[in-house]
Amino acid sequence: AFYYDQPSRTFSEYLLIPNLTTKACIPDNVQLRTPITRFRKGEIPFLQMNLPMTSAIMQSVSDHNLAIALAGCGGISFIYGSQSIAEQADMISKVKKYKAGFVDSDSNLTPQHTLGDVLRLKARTGHSTIAITENGQSNGKLMGIVTSRDYRENQMSESEPIAGFMTPRQSLVVAMEGVSLAEANETIWQHKLNCLPVIDKEDRLLHLVFRKDHDSLKEHPLELHDSNKQLIVGAGINTRDYKERVPALIEAGADIFCIDSSDGYSEWQAETIRYLKATFGERVKVGAGNVVDREGFLYLAEAGADFIKVGIGGGSICITREQKGIGRGQATSVIEVAAARQEYLDKTGIYVPVCSDGGIVHDYHIVLALAMGADFVMLGRYFARFDESPGRKVLIGGSFVKEYWGEGSSRARNWHRYDHHSETKAGKLEFEEGVDSFIPYAGRLKDNLDITVSKIKSTMCNCGALTIPELQQKARLTTVSSTTIVEGGAHDVIQKERSSQGMAQ
């Protein structure tokens, strides 16, 4: 046998050492854009995200509701594959049908800003942005902006006309009710109306909202429409029925696939990737995994995987290490795979994004994963806590909890994920590798994500980094002793109740 000289380590065994924070290094300037699909050095990746977070390919995490909420915030969900092809395709098409545009209540733009400022914001955030100017012309004073940033702020029930905003033009509103968005827009432009159309899910006009000034607009985000803008969504697939599943999901509108397996270093994964690329060409994007070392990464990269997912046994609901003795500390896995990615880049000129999957317990673990070389992370427990996840919300002992179960639990019975292609055992989950559990309920996805993102940006500023590649290049990490970990929490004090603000994790 081969013995590694070092034990494998988890995220909690590392801390970041601050670098010089320059004056330009403020959270507003931090940009979290990250590649999802492989690209040749110097070229632009086919798919990128504005948030380095994806939701796990799990029944208790990624259905269409969570996918819509997360895509609205700039991340991507991979809809779970442990369901029938028709059911999965239906979820994908629900996400693709959802269209939304939104007021960006965090942009800090004021009427003094110009259209140029809006365009700069657009370049920085990557959000689709429409500037609304006083006279409807590009040289007019800025009245407000609309972006595709968020959809939850803008539930239809909340988008009633706002008192004080309606003007004598109300009669026109009534006349327009029920017309198509295209007709409404034409009238708005014709009459140079300073207003926004509010639409229903069939794109019919509900009403127009007139704005007085940008500050009022900031207080009242409204659901709007940016046309033909569709949310991005991924889908989990397996190495058994991909020949039927993938065409159906392409038809439903899936943007990217990920082969979902607890151990991806296998000939079945290479065969699946090669088949999909040969059949559908490069337009089909497919991630693979999970792996935990250099060999696993290089094998899947050479097979053509668009991104590679890292992690075995670190998931919060996972008992694979206990059941089979397979796995590796998540931090060590990411560090080794990121080094292999660099090796592959030097040799081929191709950059293959790496996803750190599972084992994120605290928000800062996300920054550690990115600093260690991950381009994005995948989270299960984190997202399962929110209103939008599929699990039931239950009251236990006076506190609300949500259900969260592993794909390897007998509840999910995702045999494909743990399958070794034995024909006699096909369709069976012989023993469990995951548990069925409860986790504390945490409210709306967006509220929690906002806190997480501000922590990520703040930590990146401490490290003197404005982008993820800069963080990967500059980060200085140290391992910590167990007593250092104790010192890092509140200690030697009698703690009063902590406020829930900032306590997303």
Which of residues 291 and 335 has its CB atom nearest to ligand MZP in the complex?
A: 291
Residue closer to ligand MZP, measured from CB, 330 or 459: 330
238 binds ligand MZP (CB under 6 A): no
DSSP one-letter string for 241-260: SHHHHHHHHHHHT--EEEE-
φ and ψ of 185, to 5 deg? -60, -40
Q: Please say which residue, 325 or 398, places its beta carbon nearer to ligand MZP.
A: 325
Catalytic residue among 25, 195, 258, 318: 318
User: For residues 326 and 503, which CB has a smaller minimum distance to ligand MZP in the complex?
Assistant: 326
Residues touching ligand MZP, count (CB under 6 A): 23
Minimal distance, residue 366 CB to ligand MZP, in Å: 11
Q: Which of 380, 401, 465, 504 binds ligand MZP (CB under 6 A)?
A: 380
Contact present, 405 and 412 (Cβ < 8 Å):
yes
DSSP 386: B
Distance CA 333, CA 357 (A): 10
CB of 330 to ligand MZP, least distance (A): 9
| H-helix segments, 98-137 | 115-125
Of 236, 212, 408, 382, nearest to 309 (Cα)? 236
Sorted by sequence, the CB contacts under 8 Å of residue 238 that are 6+ apart come out as 81, 245, 259, 260, 261, 416, 417, 419
- The site string for ligand MZP over 416-435 (x = CB under 6 A, - otherwise) reads -----------------xx-
Question: Does the CA dihedral 219-225-230-236 come out positive or negative?
Answer: positive
Inter-residue contact 145 to 109 (CB < 8 Å): yes
Q: 478: which residues sit within 8 A by CB, 6+ positions away?
A: 14, 15, 17
**Amino acid in the structure at residue 88:** Q
- The footprint of ligand MZP on residues 284-343 (CB under 6 A) is 311, 315-318, 320
Closest approach, Cβ 359 to ligand MZP, in A, equals 5
Collapse the DSSP code of 340 into the 3-class scheme (helix H, G, I; strand E, B; otherwise coil) and give the result: helix
Shortest CB 407 distance to ligand MZP, Å? 4
Specify whether 33 is catalytic.
Answer: no
CA separation for the pair 21, 292 (Å, rounded): 33
159 touches ligand MZP (CB under 6 A):
no
Q: Is the CB of 29 or the CB of 505 nearer to ligand MZP?
A: 505
- Asked if 461 is an active-site residue, the reply is no
Q: In the stretch 52-91, what mask flags binding to ligand MZP with x, by CB under 6 A?
A: ----x-x---------------------------------
Q: Are 471 and 371 in contact (CB under 8 A)?
A: yes
Question: Which of 37/356 has CB closer to ligand MZP?
Answer: 356
User: Which position among 132, 176, 199, 379 is part of the footprint of ligand MZP (CB under 6 A)?
Assistant: 379
Q: Distance between CA atoms of 391 and 383, rounded to whole angstroms?
A: 10
Q: Which residue is catalytic, options 211, 417, 461, 463? A: 417
Out of 407, 415, 448, 461, name the contact with ligand MZP by CB under 6 A.
Answer: 407
Residues 355-374 that bind ligand MZP (CB under 6 A): 357-360
d(CA 153, CA 131): 19
Query: Which sequence positions are flagged as catalytic?
Result: 318, 417
Residues in touch with ligand MZP (CB under 6 A): 56, 58, 311, 315-318, 320, 357-360, 378-382, 406-409, 433-434
